[in-house]
């Protein structure tokens, strides 16, 4: 695990300065996501980004997610991280009270740095992440973490590129927060399967995030093969999640799942 404190960096001029300045003009527009991903790809050679806010001793909240064609997979990994794995993340040491006044940090984590095998499986192996780079800072008094995921086959993060990017990270964080605030009320309504997932989360918290996702997709009529393609997992894995979920819910068919969901929705 590599850790760098921003207070030790030379805040000189970098090429990225002009790109970040241009990004300001895209805040609140449809161009922002693509512009941000272009900057990240140009300098860090990755295109999966998650942004979290933290409150002390509480699970994080995902406030932004920017991804390529693996967006659903990245979203599910972020959900599992929120619900199950954040306490096993060694980089979160730098979010503690004792470090709040020590500037910003860049932390590169590989799966070898993590002891919890479920965390490694859900957030590294399944989404094919080789390394994760996290920038950790206090933004307007709140702990904020911006993570970039390097997929298998794209090599490791270049440390010089990370240092260059680091000099502008607080500006990028602030722009992301501002963009999310502006656009949060303009996002489209949730899809039917996402609504079903919310119902399951509310009424059946014993289900894991992936079990809820599979049930939501089953409920809208997707076959096991279609679910496997949607989530980029094997059919056998889909069947395993379905079996576990049905066992927890004490049901055995799609019709029973739908009846249960509609009854729960009526009570919600």
Digit-coded pLDDT (tens) for 96-133: 744 555 678 899 999 999 999 999 998 999 888 999 99
The model's pLDDT over 239-266, given as tens digits with 9 standing for 90+, comes to 999 999 999 999 999 999 998 998 887 6
8 A C-beta contact, residue 183 and residue 157: no
If you average pLDDT over each of 17-26, 37-46, 68-77, 178-187, which comes out highest?
Answer: 37-46
Q: What mean pLDDT comes out for the span 35-58? A: 85
Over the chain, what is the mean pLDDT?
84
Taking only the tens place, the pLDDT of each residue in 26-38 is 998 888 988 998 8
H or E, element range at 90: none
Conformation bin of residue 223: beta by default, left when phi > 0, alpha when psi is -120 to 50: beta
**Contact between 230 and 222 (Cβ < 8 Å):** yes
Q: Are 191 and 256 spatial neighbours (Cβ–Cβ below 8 Å)?
A: no
- Please report the pLDDT score of residue 98 as a whole number: 42
Residue 215 reports pLDDT greater than 90: yes
Map out the domains of the chain with their CATH numbers: 2-183 (3.30.450.80), 192-263 (1.10.10.10)
Confidence of residue 13 (pLDDT cuts 50, 70, 90): very low
- % of the chain surpassing 90 pLDDT: 37
CA–CA distance, 112 with 249 (Å, rounded to integer): 35
* Residue 52 near residue 63, CB atoms below 8 Å: yes
Output 241 or 191, whichever has higher pLDDT: 241
Crossing angle of the two packed helices 224-231 and 235-249, in degrees rounded to 10: 110
Tell me if the pTM is above 0.75. Answer: no
Contact 114, 122 (CB under 8 A): no
Q: Do residues 23 and 11 lie in contact, with contact meaning Cβ atoms separated by under 8 Å? A: no
Looking at residues 157-161, what average pLDDT do you find? 90
**pLDDT reported for residue 61:** 85
**What are the angstrom distances between the C-alpha of 102 and each of 95, 105, 148?**
10, 9, 22
Residue showing tokens 């998650």: 50
Q: Which of 14-23, 38-47, 83-92 has the lowest mean pLDDT?
A: 14-23
């Amino acid at each position: 695990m590599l850790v760098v404190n921003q207070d030790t960096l030379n805040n000189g001029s970098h090429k990225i300065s002009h790109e970040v300045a241009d990004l300001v003009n895209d805040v609140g527009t449809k161009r922002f996501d693509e512009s941000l991903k272009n900057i990240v790809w140009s300098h860090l050679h990755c295109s999966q980004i998650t942004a979290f806010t933290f409150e002390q001793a509480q699970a994080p909240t995902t406030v932004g997610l920017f991804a390529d064609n693996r967006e659903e997979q990245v979203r599910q990994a972020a959900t599992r991280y929120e619900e199950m794995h954040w306490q096993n993340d060694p980089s979160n040491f730098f979010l503690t009270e004792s470090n709040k006044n020590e500037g910003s940090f860049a932390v590169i984590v590989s799966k070898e740095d993590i002891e919890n095998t479920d965390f490694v499986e859900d957030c590294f192996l399944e989404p094919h992440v080789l390394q994760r780079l996290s920038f950790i800072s206090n933004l307007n008094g709140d702990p904020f973490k911006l993570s970039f995921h390097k997929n298998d086959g794209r090599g490791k993060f270049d440390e010089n590129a990370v240092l260059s990017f680091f000099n502008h990270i607080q500006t990028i964080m602030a722009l992301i927060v501002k963009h999310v605030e502006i656009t949060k009320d303009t996002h489209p309504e949730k899809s039917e399967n996402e609504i079903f997932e919310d119902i399951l989360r509310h009424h059946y918290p014993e289900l894991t995030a992936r079990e809820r996702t599979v049930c939501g997709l089953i409920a809208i009529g997707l076959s096991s093969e279609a679910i496997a393609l949607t989530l980029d997992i094997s059919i056998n894995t889909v069947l395993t999640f379905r079996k576990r979920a049905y066992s927890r819910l004490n049901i055995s068919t799609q019709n029973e799942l739908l009846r249960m969901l509609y009854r729960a929705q009526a009570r919600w």
